[in-house]
Structure 1
Amino acid sequence: MLPAKMLKNYIGLGAVMVMLLTAGCGGPQESAQQKAVPVRAIKILQQNVQITNEYAGQVQAKNEVKIQARVSGNIIEKMVSGGDLVKAGQPLYRIDGTQYESTLLSAQAQLVQAEVNLENARTDTERYQSLLNAAAIAEQRLTTQKAAERQNEALVSSYRALVRKAQDDVNSTLVVSPIDGRIDVNDVSVGTYVQAGSTALVTVGALDPVFVQFNMSENEYLNLRQISQNNLANSGWGDNVMITLSNGAAYPLSGKVTQADRSLANNSGTLALKASFANPDGILIPGMFARVKIAGAPIKNAVLVPQRAVQQILDKSLVTVVNAENKAEPRAVTLGEKVGSFWLVKDGLTVNDIVVVEGLTKVQEGAALDVTIVTPAELALSINS
């Protein structure tokens, strides 16, 4: 008969073995269900799409004028403040015009004297002509008088030009805006001495419309031009340009490419273009950055995979495919451009494949999957940018 202590140990060991046997009595189907990883998957899409090309752009004023003084002198009056909206012809500054007003008065007095001398010369010419007709004077006397008359006419013309120049200088002491727009904050102050033709008083830029400048490669430019020529229904490859602002908001109005540089940039091999955008609410400010979007080439029967289904590992793009046995199968794919919420797939997938879009972090290669098929609409996926 076994001692009580040893008997107790045997009984405990037997109980553990019974528990292990009981745990392992489940069938193969029950074990597989316990190991299957729940995931959501989507069937690969195949449909016609149009690629959207994106470029980094910057807003520029369509008309920007650096206003300089046309006469020299001290600023004695300032009618605006930095950042103000101004209209064409609106006064901005007044320059001390005392010396220019004096010059104008002097030129006007000289003109009056010259006009009087010319009138007297014409009277003398008429009188000498009468005397010559009466044979009272020599012909040379009349010839000399006519020369004096022409000299007085030249003096009158000269003084009239001086008066116009002096009047223009007086008018230029009032500096006005040449265009509608907004002035910058780096303006000059009252009391500043400005030099004609060299001192910049302020810069004014038009706000509506504005340009968005961007660069594209030579191949992109040629491809877009080819699209326009092949599609007669399209009025032009740059007629419907959209932009997204730095905060992610889409600008509500479309623009149109209106300018292209005459040559490629030597350092980058890219072509600079400008698209014009209406800016009635003043949302676009020169210097802003924007993402420029232009419709590119249409692609027939494009194979599309959701961006969220793609994992980037080093230099490879991988997706997890649900194979015929409902198991996870990693697969490398070659991607093209982004199309809305999807990637264009160049190689690695077909329209018959199903890929995991949710639950990827829990899936390992060869793992059994508990798959729930979902649609693009359920995941809020769209091919539109």
Structure 2
Amino acid sequence: MIFTPRSGKFFFSLSAMVVVIAMAGCGNRQVSQAPPPVKVKAMQVIKQDTPVTYEYVGQVIAKNEVQIRAKVSGNIVEKMVNGGDKIAQGQPLFRIDCRQYEATLLESQAQLVQSEVTLTNSHQDAVRYQKLADQQAIAAQVLDTALSIERQNAALVNVNRARVQRAEADLQDTLIAAPFSGRIDVNDLSTGSFVQAGQTTIATLSTVDPIFVQFSMSENEYLQFTHLGHGTSPTAWGNNLQLMLSDGTQYPLTGHIEQVDRGLAPDTATLTLKAAFVNPEGLLMPGMFARVVAQGELRRDALLIPQRAVQQLLGKTFVTIVGEDNKAEPRPVKMGPRVGNLWVVEEGLTPADRVIVEGFGKAPSGTPLNVEMMDPSELQIAAKK
């Protein structure tokens, strides 16, 4: 093949284009290998003496709660309270139709009087026969019969007296009173409703002051607190439990452990406890959720990091730190109790480490970082916003 000057120019132009394209491709690979640093905020691991607190999610329950049921059957003819009312111990609540019970009482009283008269007559007969027997004027069998009749009539008097007492009790039970002070629910029955003795729930009554907060703790936590309290039971912790409500506010009054379950729950291996809190204003109501806060030990030279810096995935806990050459480095950690918005680090970090607080989601392992250091005071400011 013979190359002409024109074809030489074409070959030179084609070669120049190939070189330009190759240089452009090399330039693209060079840019992809050096991404710009990711801007993150980090904070130095805090080392300080820290009083540890332990928090447990609990539910407010009534200290005493009872379903009010009638001891007698009948229709409710009078209702003295409204659903949701606060009531005092002994206050009348409902009245059941008492006419049949009044009639039963009158009948029982009449039968008692009749049996008492019969007993009186049989007693007089027995006294006369005793005198005649002492004079040997009658056979001994006649006296024995008279004495037996007297004992039978005395037993009948006792039976009728018991019937009267039962009828009086039934009549009294037609008026249903509060067994203790508290608040009645709004699902109470209305006038005219028929109630079956011992079966129909007329209303539910719950105490409001004091009130319980029920929560659970693990076996290790129970043992730890027992050692801290120098007692054999959490009831020795004293009256220093605090309560955080669901809106983040702190309940103004402290409480104490009043009940501890007899053992661990077999399905969860946790111990159920009930803390009592006075509730004079009625702020705490059954069904509410709150966090019980208990004071623990003082950790000397504890390592602390912000809670929001901790990542949890598939049961594992880790953080992202600023590693060598300002590159992101995931680090598995073992966390301890929470302290406010901080978290105690048990294992995995040193005071020299810098933990990424904001932006770790955009910084996988090895990512170059543009680090802005945070002061612990900024965490408090952010929490108030």
One fold, TM greater than 0.5? yes
Aligned to 2:123: 122
Q: Compare 135-144 and 345-354 and name the one that shifted more.
A: 345-354
Q: Distance in 2 between matches of 1:40 and 1:300?
A: 27
Show the counterpart of 2:5. Answer: none
Q: 1:317 matched to which residue of 2?
A: 319
- Cα separation, 2, equivalents of 1:215 and 1:297: 19
TM-score, normalised relative to structure 1? 0.76
SS at match of 1:236: helix
- Are the equivalent residues in 2 in contact too, given 1:238–1:294 (CA < 8 A)? no
Question: Which residue in the other structure is 1:223 paired with?
Answer: 224
Distance 1:312 1:356, change over 3 A: closer
In structure 2, C-alpha distance between the alignment counterparts of 1:40 and 1:332, rounded to whole Å: 15
Percent identical among aligned pairs is 48
Q: CA RMSD in A?
A: 3.5
1:175-324 aligned within 5 A: 175-229=176-230, 236-237=236-237, 239-307=239-307, 310=309, 312=311, 316-320=318-322
Corresponding residue of 2:344 = 344
Q: Report the equivalent of 1:106.
A: 107
Question: Any residues of structure 2 matched to 1:25-44 within 5 Å, and which?
Answer: 44=45
Q: Is it true that 1:76 corresponds to 2:82 in the alignment?
A: no
Q: 1:202 to 1:129 in 2, by over 3 A?
A: same
- 3-state DSSP class of the match of 1:182? strand
Is contact 1:335-1:343 (8 Å) kept? no
Change (3 A) 1:162 1:316: same
Distance in 2 (CA, whole Å) between partners of 1:356 and 1:317 is: 8
Q: Distance in 1 between matches of 2:199 and 2:350?
A: 68
**Residues 136/356 of structure 1: CA separation in 2 closer, same or farther (3 Å cut):** closer
Alignment check: 8 A CA contact 1:224 1:296 kept = yes
* Range with greater deviation from structure 2 (73-82 or 342-351): 342-351
Q: CA deviation at 1:378?
A: 7.0
Question: 1:140-179 residue pairs with structure 2 within 5 A?
Answer: 140-179=141-180
Amino acid at match of 1:193: F
State how many pairs are aligned: 339
The 8 Å contact of residues 49 and 299 in structure 2, kept in 1 or not, is answered as: yes
TM-score of the two chains, using structure 2 as the length reference? 0.76
State the 1:99 CA deviation: 0.8
Task: Give the CA deviation at 1:361.
Answer: 11
- The 8 Å contact of residues 320 and 328 in structure 1, kept in 2 or not, is answered as yes
Q: Which has the larger displacement, 249-258 or 63-72?
A: 249-258
Residue by residue over 1:126-156, the C-alpha shift from the partner in whole angstroms, topping out at 9 and shown as x without a partner, is: 2222222333323322222111111111011
Change (3 A) 1:353 1:229: same
Give 1:126's aligned amino acid. Answer: V
Q: Which AA in structure 1 matches 2:123?
A: R
After superposition, the Cα gap between the structure-2 partners of 1:151 and 1:346, relative to the gap in structure 1 and judged at 3 Å, is closer
Q: In 1, are the aligned partners of 2:217 and 2:270 still within 8 Å (CA)?
A: yes
Secondary structure of the residue aligned to 1:126 is helix
Match of 1:62 in 2: 63
Please give the alpha-carbon distance, in whole angstroms, between the structure 1 residues aligned to 2:235 and 2:70. Answer: 45
**Deviation at 1:354?**
6.6
* In structure 2, distance between residues paired with 1:348 and 1:70: 65
Question: SS of the residue aligned with 2:265?
Answer: coil
Give yes or no for contact 2:321–2:353 (8 Å, CA) kept in 1: no
Q: CA deviation at 1:294?
A: 2.0
5+ residue gaps, structure 2 = 1-37
- Ranges in structure 1 where 5+ consecutive residues have no aligned partner: 1-36
